Structure 1
């Protein structure tokens, strides 16, 4: 049988690229002969993240969709036509059988080019609030998949977000001791992992610095990932005090997840999906931008009892001392929240999506024969 030929479109941000690459990996595991081409632009992280994952990348002109009436909007139709032509040329050259879109600058040209060539379109929306590209695509296809049932998108089926096998297959208890040694943490006692994402979060860093002494006094160890552009001032502890480990970045997050019992972090879509998949309870601090989208990402696991939710403006050393420390020092409650977080996860989303894409490609091949 001929290898399925798939074009994946979802560039610009890691929030689009990471699910796309995780899907591509899942597709390769199901069908090793699959020919997968990524469509991207010179903007954003496309040329950095996609080649690093080993997939061919075809570049087309970017078409940011303007949300307001301004001069840039007047030039959009011309730029869009140029980008659609470029995307169509790629689809023709690689003999694509199906286009899978994840949103972002590159998705609209890919969707329009696919429709022009009569190719099936499969859409995945990772965010709680769909972007312009995927709202448009949902009118072109019935193959629409979302991260959660609450996402409002036509024809949508909730499957979760495609994740890496290193995350979905993580056995936290089995890796815990080795992970704690890796970061210089003691094997016993609760560990709180702190992260604001790859760039850090000043609010979280400041609150943790202020609560460091209280955390040490109650026996809580901390693994604090500050982000490469941020530093955190932690009051010095004695040799017998619980560890407070500060690192700017972690390359392999599975070790950080395995070392931790609880997390305090932002609530980006990928973060929420990964923590639920590995069963880590969290205190989510939604980024107070983008119309409250990060709050929506966290709400399903919070509703399941697997996480706490605190507004950015309310996060403080006092909140950590009064609300978070009593949870961290109650092992039974942490264990219960871990189980509830796991129940909200969807570790097989990549495989589910890959099977739908293979079926769409097979249907296209059957119609063309």
Structure 2
């Protein structure tokens, strides 16, 4: 059997890159001698994440369009033209059996020209409401893989399949007893996990200051707060200025970053987070109730749609960023963790939304397309 060649195009944010890396890892497992090449830009996170994952990255010249018409629009048009030339050159050089797009403007020219050249193509949409690039490309590709049932209305039904969002399977493999012991937390008091993505979120941290002040004496629940590397020193200084020593308290754990998130999820009864595709896919895979605060500046407000989807299905409560205060957050936490029936029903609803076999479903569609 001839060696299979695959191109994965996507980038900009981790939400586009991590699913691509998961798919590439699955292809490497199922096609041991496959040639796998990523296409991205010099600007996005793919520049660092793809080589670290052990894959080859080829770069093209392309950038996104501003929402408003400006001089920068002319520059984007020029870059799009150049990106098209770069894409055709790469496609002719590699001669892939299949091209996979995972979103971001970089996927546009690669997927489009692959389709024009008769190369089988598939795109994967991570969010409930798709971005402009994937909505455009869906008219040309052979298959559209979606992560949420509500996304089907945006794409041609005859080529759209619900697969889910591929996340690391080990994320749901933590052991609760071991995790609680690791964090030094009590097994009989609810645990609230709060994080703002890989960089942290200042707005969430600010609200958690009030929560920590109120819960430091009552011990109604325990807290694991991931501040983000760049916010950690400032956050701990703010607590120190208020005379709060979390080390002495024992039930409030502060971390700048957590590498073994499976342990944090295993320990948690409730998760507070933004509503990026990766976060909500991990939260549902772990079957955790959530309080979601969508990032208001996300492209196309896609985090709002992600959060609303979980809320509509009973898996989350939503606080808009503009309405976020410490008082509001504390009341919302209490309304869930102090009500065992609500906590249990939200956990069940969250688990029901998960797609634990997302990667296998995507790989199955890929195998159909390449025969």
- In structure 1, runs of 5+ residues without a counterpart are 363-369
**1:325 and 1:241, CA in 2 relative to 1: closer, same or farther beyond 3 A?**
farther
Match for residue 220 of structure 1? Answer: 221
Question: Which aligned segments of 4 or more residues in structure 1 are displaced greater than 4 angstroms?
Answer: 237-242
Does structure 1 conserve the Cα–Cα contact (< 8 Å) formed by 2:173 and 2:262? Answer: no
In structure 2, the partner of 1:339 is: 348
Aligned to 2:24, the other structure's residue is in SS state helix
Q: Following the alignment from structure 2 to structure 1, what is the Cα–Cα distance between the partners of residues 245 and 79?
A: 58
What is the aligned partner in structure 2 of residue 94 from structure 1? 94
What CA distance in whole angstroms lies between the structure 1 residues aligned with 2:204 and 2:313?
Answer: 24
TM-score by length of 2: 0.89
Inter-partner Cα distance in structure 1 for 2:82 and 2:313: 46
CA drift of 1:240 comes to 8.3
Distance 1:251 1:59, change over 3 A: same
User: For each residue in 1:19-69, what CA deviation from the matched residue of structure 2 results, as whole angstroms up to 9, or x when unmatched?
Assistant: 111111222333333322111111111120001111111111123234332
Structure-2 residue corresponding to 1:313? 322
Shift in CA distance, 115/297, structure 1 to aligned 2, threshold 3 Å: same
**Cα gap change, 1:225/1:75 in structure 2, threshold over 3 Å: closer, same or farther?**
closer
User: Counterpart in 2 of 1:365?
Assistant: none
Matched, 1:293 2:294: no
Pairwise CA distance, 1:285: 1.0
| Greater Cα offset, 299-308 or 230-239 | 230-239
Decide whether the 8 Å contact of 1:223 with 1:246 is kept in 2. yes
Structure 2 residue runs of 5 or longer lacking an equivalent are: none
* Residues 240, 59 of structure 1: alpha-carbon distance in 2 compared, 3 angstrom cutoff: closer
The count of residues paired between Structure 1 and Structure 2 equals 358
Equivalent of 1:263 in 271, 274, 278: 271
* Equivalent position of 1:45 in the other structure: 45
- Give 2:261's aligned residue: 253
Counterpart of 1:162 in 2: which secondary structure?
Answer: coil
Distance 2:268 2:19 in 1: 24
Query: What is the Cα-based RMSD across aligned positions, in Å?
Result: 2.1
Inter-partner Cα distance in structure 1 for 2:310 and 2:122: 26
Q: What's the offset of the Cα at 1:180?
A: 2.4
Cα contact 1:27–1:351 (8 A) shared by 2: no
